[in-house]
Amino acid sequence: MRALKTAIILFVALSFLTGILYTVAVTVLSQLMFPQQANGGLIYRADGAPIGSALIGQSFSGRKYFWPRPSATADFPYNALASSGSNLGPTNKDFINQVAERVKSFRESGIQGPLPADLVTASGSGLDPHISPAAADYQVMRVAKARGLEEAKVRALVAEHTKGRQFGIVGEPVVNVLELNLALNELRQE
């Protein structure tokens, strides 16, 4: 009976410690230290309605928008509930066909020469909201032409939205596609 009483006390104490206290502590710390990320990185319109998340990619297919990195989520692109890689290797016939189809769409939009890999391959999570500055640069001509803008103006906008390495050393420079496309829409209204 004594062992059962000890087990019940330990169960209740550890449940409180790990189920409530730890959860509250992590929530409070994340809200204090990283409020934007803790709340999903949501981006809002001027009227307060959410447009999307800076942390999860979104589908853009029109010629006047920068295209994101392809999504690996099958049924619904950029579905956070289905986050995963495709698990297709570079010698897999399905993977080769997917990449060939993506290259074809870029060729049809007038882009020639070698393409950055991030324009034709999905990221590990399949939800990456970023592309490389090189991938954005490859799309400048198409976007500028579709919007009737000077290429230099679009390139300047890409440069303005390019984020460097974290802490100056971690990772590679990236461009958030949603933020860049929203800035393009605002540029059009000027």
> What digits encode the pLDDT tens for the residues 26-54?
999 999 998 888 887 888 877 888 888 88
Angstrom distance (rounded) from CA 178 to CA 68? 8
In the chain, where the domains are located? 1-39, 41-189
pLDDT tens sequence across 129-183: 899 999 999 889 889 999 999 999 999 999 999 998 888 888 889 999 999 999 9
**For residue 188, pLDDT beyond 60:** no
Of the candidates 45, 71, 41, 36, the one whose C-alpha atom is nearest the C-alpha of residue 55 is: 41
Beta bridge partners of 163: 174
Query: What's the pLDDT at 37?
Result: 84
Query: What's the pLDDT at 66?
Result: 92
pLDDT tens sequence across 50-94: 888 888 888 887 889 998 888 777 666 777 766 666 677 888 898
Mean pLDDT of 2-20: 94
Helix (H) or strand (E) segment spanning residue 52: strand 50-53
Query: What's the pLDDT at 75?
Result: 65
Query: What's the pLDDT at 57?
Result: 80
For the entire predicted model, the pTM comes to: 0.76
Query: What's the pLDDT at 155?
Result: 95
**For residue 100, pLDDT beyond 80:** yes
Query: What's the pLDDT at 30?
Result: 92
